[in-house]
Structure 1
C-alpha cells in the first residue's frame, strides 16, 4: 500500500511537471493511452477479453463517468494549483466513500463515524478556505476530483465480479483518451511535445501502472482494514515532492486541515476494523 501511494504521488508530480510544457488535455490523453496499452498487454497475457459483455453494465458505465470526473478535475487541480493542497484535499476520499456507502448501499454508519465524516469535511474547508482572501478557486477542482474518485471506488464495489482488475484498468485508462483529446481540442493549444515532456509522461504511466498493481495486491492479499489506513502515506510523499520539486510550503491552515482529514479518516478505518472484528458495537 505504501509503495502504491508513493508511486501515485510521483505520478502526480510528473503530470504536473509535464503539464507545464503541453496542454493538460494532451497529457491526459497520452497518459490514458499508455495505461490502456500496458493493461491491454496484461489482459492478453492472461487471455482475458477486452470486450467483455459486462463492459456495458450500469456499474461500469457509472465507474467510467466517475473516472473521467476524478482524473480530469484532479489533473486540472494539480496543474492550476499547488500539489500539496490538492493532495491534501484528496485524502478525504475514504470519508466520502463511507458516506456514499451509507447513502447508496444502506451500510450502517453510527454516530461516531458520522462525526468523523463531518470533522473531515471541516478539514477540507480549512484547506480551501472559501470566502477568505487566501481562497484559491482551483481548490474546488480538487474537491470535484476527490468526489469523482470516491464515486469510482463505490462503482468498483458494485462492478461485476467476473471482470478482473486488469480489465477494469483498461476501461479506466481508455476513457481518459477521448476525454483528454476533447479537452485539448476545446483549448485549441498547439501540440509541442519534446523528448523531455514525453519522458515525463512515460514515467507517469509507469508509476500509474505500478501504483495500480501494488494497490490491487495490497487490497486482495492483505486485510483491508489493516492496509487501508496506509493510504494516508500518500500525503506525506506528496508534501515532500511538492517541497523538493515545486518549492511549495503549505501554510499552517493547510497542514492543520490535512491533519484533521487524516485523523478523522484514520479513525473511521480503524473503527471499521474493530467493528468487523466484533470488538466494538455500532454506535
Structure 2
C-alpha cells in the first residue's frame, strides 16, 4: 500500500513530537526523583495515563479498549514496559540524562540478538557488525573512570533489556491487536501493579502544588507520547520512521545540558553517537531488506 508524501511528513512530525515528550518525561522524572521515591513516581505516571485514556477514549471505544485475543501476552508486554519505566527513572536519579538515554537505546541492539531465537529472523553480517559497534559505544559510556555510578549503569542496562523484551512482544502483537488497546493495557497493568504496592511506596514529603503538577505531567507526557507514537507508525512505514527515533539521543543531550548542566565528555559523547549510528544502521538495513525481500 502506497503512502502519500503528506502522510509521511505528518507521521514524522508526530514522531518528533512523541520523542520530545519522552525527553520531557525523563527530565521531569530525574528532577522529581531527587525528592520523591521512584516507585511513587512510576505509579503516578501510569495512573494519570490510565485516567486520560478512560476519560478521552473510553466514551468512543468502550469495550474495544480492553478487547484482545491475547490477554496474557498483553499483560506480559505491559509488565515489560513497567520495568522499563522503573529502571529508567531509577537510573535517571543517579546519572545524567544523555548517558542514561543512550544506554537505554542499546535495546535495538538486544532486539537484534533476541530476534533470531524468538522470532526466527536471520541477523546477517551487517546487523552483526552494527551490534558489535553499538556495544562498543556502550563501553565508551560505561567505562571505568567515566564518573558514572555502577548501580546507575546496571539499572539503565536493566531498562534496555526490559525495553528489548517489550519491543519483541510488540512485534508479536501488532499483527492482530489494535494499537490503542496495546497502549491501554500498558496503562492498566502499570497502574494496577503499582497500586498494589502503593501503601509501601507512598513516602517522602507532601508535594507542593507545583510538584503535584509535575508529578501529574509524567502521565501526560507518557500517555500523549505513546498516542503520538502510535499514530505516527499507523500512517507511515516503520522502516521510514525507525531511524528518526535516534533524534531522542540528541534532544536528551541538549535538555540535560540546558536543564541540569550535564554534558557528556568527549568519549561518552562519541559512545552516544556510536550507539545512535549502530541503531540507525540496523533500521536502514531492515528497510533495505524489506524493499528487496
- TM-score, normalised relative to structure 2: 0.86
**Counterpart contact for 2:40–2:203, Cα < 8 Å:** no
**Counterpart contact for 1:31–1:202, Cα < 8 Å:** yes
Offset of residue 73 of structure 1: 0.5
Query: Secondary structure of the residue that 1:54 maps to in structure 2?
Result: coil
C-alpha distance after superposition, 1:62-89 (max 9, x if no partner)? 2123112211101111112211110111
**Aligned positions of 1:79-90 closer than 5 A:** 79-90=93-104
- Mapped partners of 2:90, 2:194: distance in 1: 11
Match of 1:26 among 40, 53, 56: 40
- Mapped partners of 1:218, 1:49: distance in 2: 21
Match of 2:255 among 226, 230, 241: 241
Q: How many residues align?
A: 277
How large is the RMSD of aligned CA atoms in angstroms?
Answer: 2.2
Partner of 2:5: none
Offset of residue 47 of structure 1: 2.7
Higher mean C-alpha displacement, 175-184 vs 69-78? 175-184
Offset of residue 53 of structure 1: 5.3
Match of 1:117 among 119, 131, 136: 131
- Mapped partners of 1:188, 1:74: distance in 2: 19
Offset of residue 20 of structure 1: 2.4
Cα distance, 1:210–1:68 mapped onto 2, change above 3 Å: closer
C-alpha distance after superposition, 1:112-152 (max 9, x if no partner)? 111111111111111111x5473421111111101111111
Match of 1:250 among 253, 264, 274: 264
Cα distance, 1:191–1:183 mapped onto 2, change above 3 Å: farther
- Mapped partners of 2:181, 2:187: distance in 1: 10
Partner of 2:107: 93
C-alpha distance after superposition, 1:205-238 (max 9, x if no partner)? 2222221112112211112111110000101111
Cα distance, 1:77–1:48 mapped onto 2, change above 3 Å: same
**Aligned positions of 1:30-45 closer than 5 A:** 30-41=44-55, 42-45=57-60
Cα distance, 1:167–1:191 mapped onto 2, change above 3 Å: farther
- Mapped partners of 2:111, 2:197: distance in 1: 28
Consecutive unaligned residues of structure 2, counting only runs of 5 or more, are 1-14
Partner of 1:47: 62
Partner of 1:134: 147
- Mapped partners of 2:115, 2:155: distance in 1: 23
